[in-house]
Amino acid sequence: MAEDREPLSLDELAAEGDAMEAEAAEAEALRAERDALAAERDALKDRLLRALAETENLRKRAERDRREGEQYGATRLARDLLPVHDALRRALDAADESVRESAAPLVEGVELTLRELLAVFGRHGITPVSPQVGDRFDPALHEAMFEAPLPGTRAGEIIQVAAEGFLLHDRLLRPAQVGVSSTPTS
């Protein structure tokens, strides 16, 4: 087969060499184009993956913001209602036995109003912080209105509760206002 062919002339050999060089150059150009397309594909894939990750982060952030807005969006309204609670509580505390007897329906109406207000607070995640005399002062939940030495107590104990505090879910809406003992430890 190769032996059956006639030998090529120099011109024919040169033409065949030129054709081979042209094929090699074309193959090299195709390899370079393939490599460029692969690099572009990899860059686009990387951008796509980053965009997907950013979109997922944005979705999670929006969901967290929505949840927080749902839970804590009424913070200002809740703070504005706390003085109403305080006024009802003071009215009940001020009613001595003679007032309770002479104006029983009025006192009962104030008690029912306070209970309903607390029920509404509870439905919306507002819970009272009600420290008792003798509890330890907790700066995360309590606000010290005064400090006074009181015999029979230890420093840092609550000696008086001036006003209840409130939490909105897990956030402090208003600290409980308390008096704290400053009696030095013996």
- Same domain flag for 16 and 64: yes
Do 130 and 174 fall into the same domain? yes
Asked whether residue 3 is domain-assigned, the answer is no
The count of domains in the chain is 3
- Average pLDDT, integer, range 123-136: 94
150 or 143, greater pLDDT: 143
Q: Could you tell me which residues come within 8 angstroms of residue 169 by beta carbon, excluding any fewer than 6 positions away?
A: 71, 72, 125
Number of residues that make up the chain: 186
Tell me if 2 is assigned to some domain: no
Q: Name which residue leads in pLDDT, 81 or 71.
A: 81
Q: What pLDDT score does 20 carry?
A: 85
Dihedral in degrees, nearest 10, Cα atoms 17, 21, 26, 29? 170
User: Please, what is the average pLDDT of the chain?
Assistant: 90
DSSP per position, 1-18: -TTTSPPPPHHHHHHHHH
Answer yes or no: do 37 and 61 share one domain: yes
Question: Phi and psi for 176 in degrees, rounded to 5?
Answer: -70, 135
My answer on whether 19 and 49 are in the same domain is: yes
- Same domain for 81 and 133, yes or no, is no
Same domain? 135 vs 97:
no
Which of 5-14, 89-98, 107-116, 132-141 is predicted least confidently? 5-14
- The total of other beta-carbon atoms located within 10 Å of residue 165's CB is 21
Residue type, 158: I
Task: Decide if 21 is inside a domain.
Answer: yes
Give the pLDDT confidence score for residue 168 in this predicted structure.
Answer: 94
Q: Structure tokens of 161?
A: 């509760």
Examine residue 14 and state whether it is found in any structural domain, yes or no: yes
pTM above 0.75, yes or no: no
Q: Do 44 and 27 share a structural domain? A: yes
- What lies within 8 Å, CB to CB, of 105 at 6+ separation is none
50 and 78 fall within a common domain: no
- Please tell me whether residues 137 and 176 are part of one structural domain: yes
**Domain for residue 108, yes or no?**
yes
Q: Is the pLDDT of residue 185 over 80?
A: no
Which of 12-16, 46-50, 78-82, 155-159 shows the lowest per-residue confidence on average (mean pLDDT)? Answer: 12-16
Residues 86, 36 share a domain: no
Domain edge (last residue) among 72, 99, 114: 72
Tokens of 129: 């912080």
Give me the CATH number covering residue 149: 2.30.22.10
Same domain, 114 and 170: no
Angle in degrees, CA 63, 68, 70, rounded to 5: 95
Q: What is each CA distance from 31 to 19, 41, 44, 104, 174, in whole angstroms? A: 18, 15, 20, 97, 71
What separation in angstroms does the CA of 2 have from each of 6, 7, 8, 15? Answer: 9, 10, 12, 19
- Over residues 29-44, the mean pLDDT reads 95
| pLDDT of 186 higher than 60 | no
**Residue 84 pLDDT:** 95
- Asked, for residue 1, whether it belongs to a domain, the answer is no
Whether residues 169 and 185 share a domain: the answer is yes
Q: Where in the sequence is the domain holding 38, given as residue range(s)?
A: 8-72
- CB 24 within 8 Å of CB 16: no
Residues 141, 170 contacting (CB under 8 angstroms): no
